[in-house]
Amino acid sequence: MVANIWAQNSFLSTTEETDINIAVIRSFVVIEFVSYDDDGRVSLVLRNVSEDEVDVIISKVELRSLETSKIFYSRDLLGDNIVLRRGESYTVSGLPTCEDLEDPMLQEECKSTVRLAYRAYYMPLRIYGKGYRLSTTETPTGDSVIMNPSVRLECLLPEEGWVLLDLVDPVTLVSSGDLYADPSTHKGRVWIEAPLASGVDTITVQAVVSRIGGSGTASGSASIKVPEPAQQYYIALSGKVSQIYVPFKVTLSSPSKRIIPGEWIFGGQRNVAHVSGLLLSWRTEDKLVDSIIAEVGFGSLGTYRVSITLKDCNGKIIATGSNTVTASASTKASIPIELSNPVRLDQIYYVESGVGKIG
């Protein structure tokens, strides 16, 4: 009898625990929107996007560092009884930025943190009604990452308008590093991608490609729509295309908006190895670039070091990176290069690449 009672209680406890876990898994709340109020404080729009009909209660919200995981501010919201049915939203307003923190030391540490995030916590309402409030029943939303407004930017975005590029890819011959010229038109090509802009528009982008240390120059223009994520456009190049080979520089501009980055250097040694394309890998949530994909062509067998240098609007180096690769002749490869530190996409004005044989 004692064994039967123990088994029955154990079964009921297991069933209840399973029921709690299922309810937690079925609930899902997201931070839908972040905005700044007129008084400089922050508002978060929370929405219950659970696939099942699960009511949730919001338990707390935090301001935290994504670099050290330190919590700068926490507000308990259970007393506000914020209950969201499936599909409903609620705005939590009056949240502080670093400037609003009362502790001076905490305020300074917060202000010096580049990557901040707001995070909310919630739990299924019926679990909360049973008196549970454990770390296993409180579920965090995804982080809503913001760039710290207290961190001063060296390069402010131009008021007249701007377009951010994350890809520049001039078409070159794999082995030599010469700018490719179409046999029928004698024109070259450079591909670009513009995923972010100050507004929806159709603009003219002008490209000038010039050999570093030589007289070869080619240029052209194209009309493109901005912003257009994952949409590549090419600019046809006329001029001394056949006289251009690595190292060369691509300069991009527009009569109506500032193109950022506007200068890209493709380094290398002719018939040995060269960088032929560059892609800035950035995170959609905070627009930080933490790595670069370099497309490299090889003219001879060897081990090579591919390097990247990023500079801001003042020509100051803001990040560097390199990677080593062993390759065969007449081949090409995409080389991932991790940067020394993440940088904002809108702070990169000059991209310089190089490749040298080390063995």
Distance, C-alpha 189 to centroid of its chain: 27
Identify the top-confidence range among 19-28, 67-76, 163-172: 163-172
Query: Tens of pLDDT along 28-41?
Result: 888 877 777 767 78
**Pairing between β-strand 167-170 and β-strand 217-226 as defined by DSSP bridges:** unpaired
In angstroms, the CA 89 to CA 82 distance is 10
23-27, 67-71, 186-190: least confident range: 23-27
- Rounding to the nearest 10 degrees, give the CA dihedral for residues 248, 254, 260, 261: 0
pLDDT at site 131: 62
Q: What is d(CA 343, CA 261) in angstroms, rounded to the nearest whole number?
A: 13
Domain parsing of the chain, residue ranges: 28-147, 162-357
pLDDT at 136: 43
Q: Report the alpha-carbon distance of residue 233 to residue 223 in Å, rounded.
A: 9
Model pLDDT, residue 87: 87
Residue 202 CA to residue 148 CA, distance in Å, equals 31
136: alpha, beta or left? (left if phi > 0; alpha if psi -120 to 50): alpha
Q: What is the DSSP letter of 78?
A: G
Q: For residues 228 and 225, what is the distance between their CA atoms, to the nearest angstrom? A: 6
Q: Environment class of residue 134 by beta-carbon count within 10 Å: exposed (0-12), middle (13-18) or buried (19+)?
A: exposed
Q: For residue 292, how far is the Cα from the chain centroid?
A: 11
Average pLDDT for 104-114: 86
The stretch 86-99 carries a mean pLDDT of 90
Residue 270 near residue 246, CB atoms below 8 Å: yes
Kindly indicate whether the domain formed by 28-147 is annotated with CATH number 1.10.760: no
CB contact at 8 A, 167 and 193: yes
Bridge partners for 302 per DSSP = 327
- In this prediction, residue 190 carries a pLDDT of 98
Lowest mean pLDDT among 141-150, 193-202, 248-257, 259-268: 141-150
pTM: 0.66
Q: 331, 339 in Cβ contact below 8 A?
A: no
In the structure, what pLDDT confidence band is assigned to residue 289 with cuts at 50, 70 and 90?
Answer: very high
Please give the pLDDT value at position 43: 86
Query: For 207-265, what is each residue's pLDDT tens digit?
Result: 999 999 988 899 999 999 999 988 999 999 999 999 999 999 999 999 999 999 999 99
Most confident of 49-58, 63-72, 173-182, 282-291: 173-182
